[in-house]
Amino acid sequence: MKSPRFYKLLLAISSVLVCQSAFAQPTGGSGVSDNDLQLNTLTTSLPFMAITPDSRAGGMGDAGTALSANSTSVYWNTSLLSFAKEKSEVSLSYTPWLRQLTNDIHLSYLAGYKQLNKVHSIGGALRYFSLGEITFTDINGDVLRDDKPSEFELVGAYAFKLADRFSIGVNGKFAYSNLTGGLTVAGVNTKPGVVGAADLSFSYFNDDAHIGSTDGTYTFGLTINNIGNKVSYSELSRRDFIPMNLKIGNSFLADFDEYNKVTFSLDLQRLLVPTPAIYKLINGNYVMLAGMDGDIGIISSMMQSFYDAPGVLAEDEDGNYIQNQDGSYQIVKGTRLKEELAEINIAAGAEWWYSNVLAIRGGVFYENKNKGNRQFLNLGASLKYNMFTIDFSYLASLNGRQSPLANTLRFTLRLNLGGN
C-alpha cells in the first residue's frame, strides 16, 4: 500500500501540470486570444535534426531535457552525462515515421557515451533519416527517375563537470541532406545540403532534494541546439535556417521506497529562428507590412527570434489596413506579445519505475494551433533485464487521426556496458 505522502506529491505535481496546461490555452489577459492571431508557422530546413529519436522521452511528451542521463542524452542534454549512474551505455532506436502518409519513411538513431573519470565524459551519435522511394517528374508529369532521398547526422559530444552539482556540455555536428540526388530542375543544378553545427548545454543536479517529506533528485537543464549555418539546395535558391532551438527542462525523481520511483518532467521549448513577416502585394511589389526581415545571420537570428513576431494588422470598418502618420501599419495591441508566447511549446511527462525492472510512462505535448498545431499524448513502457533495457512508446494525436503524426511508434534497445 502506498504511503500518504505518495498521494500528496502526486496531487501537487498534478496541480502544477494543470496550471501549465491552462497557461498554454487561449487567455484573455491582454484581451487577445489565439483566435485573434493569424496562422504563421516557423519552418526550417533539415527538420529531421529536431525529431525526438528515443522511446523514453518519446513516451513522456518529448520532455527529455532534464531526465536522468542515458545514451540518448547526447541528443537531449549532453551535460547530464556527468551525472550518469552507469559508466557507459550504447543504444539503438528505430522510428517508423509518418505512417499515416506512407510506409517507407523511418528514422534510426545510434548513440553512446563513456565516463572517462569523475570530471570528463564523451559520447557520440549517428542519426539516419530515410524518406523512402520518391518518383521525380517534370512539369508535364513525365517520370524523370526514381530515387531514395536520405539525410544523416554525425555527433561528437563532451561533458565537463564544473562542481558536484553543475555540468556543461558541448556537441559538434555534421549533417548531410541529399533530397534531390543532384537532379537538374528547370536548368538549375541541385546539390545536397551540408551543415556544421553545435549544441551547448548546462545542467544542475541535486540528488538530495525534498518535496515535503519526500526525498528525491531535482534536475534543471538548459540547452541551445543546432547552432549552425544556413542551407541551400542550389546556387540560386534562398538559404534557410536549420532548427536552432532553446529548451529549458525541470524534473523531480521522487524516491518513495526501495520499489517505487516516480519522475515528473516539464520542458519549455522554442525555435530560435526568425518569425515570418507579413508581406502584401502592392502595385506589383511585395511590401513588408509588419514584422522584421528574416534574411539575417545566425547569432542575429537567435536574438531577434524573441521580439520579431509581426502580430495582427489593424483594420478599419471597410477591412483596409490602418496606417500611422509615419507610413507604418498599426498592429492590434497585445498581438505581438501573444504571438511570441505562442511560439513556446510545452512538454510534460511522468515515469514510474517498479523495482528498477519495469517502467510505465505518459506525457503530453502542446504546440499552438497557429504555430504548427502539434498536440499529442504519449504512452510508453520499459523492461530492464541485467544489462539490457527495452523501451517502447506510442504517440496518439490529440488532433484526430488525420494528423500525420498519429499512431507513431518508437523502439529503443539500450545496453549498459559497465555500472559504477
pLDDT digits (tens, 9 = 90+) for 211-256: 888 899 999 999 999 999 999 988 777 899 999 999 999 999 999 8
Single out the residue of 305, 313, 306 nearest to residue 280, CA to CA.
313
Query: Residue 6's pLDDT is what?
Result: 45
Query: Residue 419's pLDDT is what?
Result: 56
Query: Residue 133's pLDDT is what?
Result: 85
Query: Residue 418's pLDDT is what?
Result: 72
Quickly count: other Cβ atoms within 10 Å of residue 93's Cβ.
27
* Residue 156 to residues 100, 171, 196, 255, Cα–Cα distance (Å): 33, 6, 12, 33
Give the cell for residue 208: 538530495
In whole angstroms, what is the distance from residue 375 CA to residue 405 CA?
A: 10
Q: Considering the domain boundaries, does residue 304 fall inside one?
A: no
The torsion region of residue 313 among left (phi > 0), alpha (psi -120 to 50) and beta comes to beta
Q: Considering the domain boundaries, does residue 307 fall inside one?
A: no
Q: Residue 380: which CATH number?
A: 2.40.160.60
Q: Considering the domain boundaries, does residue 286 fall inside one?
A: no
Q: Structural domain tally of the chain? A: 1
Q: Considering the domain boundaries, does residue 389 fall inside one?
A: yes
The residue ranges of the chain whose pLDDT is under 70 are: 1-32, 185-186, 400-402, 419-420
Structure confidence by residue, pLDDT tens digits, 360-388 = 999 999 999 999 999 999 999 999 998 99
Owning domain of residue 243: 43-276+348-419
Question: Is 56 within 8 Å of 70 (Cβ atoms)?
Answer: yes
The dihedral through the CA atoms of 268, 269, 272, 273 has a sign that is negative
Written as one letter, the residue type at 79 is S
Q: Considering the domain boundaries, does residue 300 fall inside one?
A: no
Query: Residue 4's pLDDT is what?
Result: 47
Q: What are phi and psi of 380, to 5 degrees?
A: -160, 170
Query: Residue 179's pLDDT is what?
Result: 87
Query: Residue 318's pLDDT is what?
Result: 85
Q: Considering the domain boundaries, does residue 26 fall inside one?
A: no
* Residue 368 to residues 21, 38, 44, 273, Cα–Cα distance (Å): 12, 11, 17, 17
In whole angstroms, what is the distance from residue 93 CA to residue 86 CA?
A: 19
In whole angstroms, what is the distance from residue 261 CA to residue 263 CA?
A: 7
In whole angstroms, what is the distance from residue 59 CA to residue 64 CA?
A: 10
Single out the residue of 117, 118, 114, 94 nearest to residue 106, CA to CA.
94
Query: Residue 134's pLDDT is what?
Result: 82
Q: For the purposes of burial, counting CB atoms within 10 Å of the CB of 402, is it exposed (0-12), middle (13-18) or buried (19 or more)?
A: exposed
Q: Considering the domain boundaries, does residue 383 fall inside one?
A: yes
Q: What is the largest CA-CA distance in the chain?
A: 74
Single out the residue of 82, 168, 72, 179 nearest to residue 121, CA to CA.
82
Q: Considering the domain boundaries, does residue 319 fall inside one?
A: no
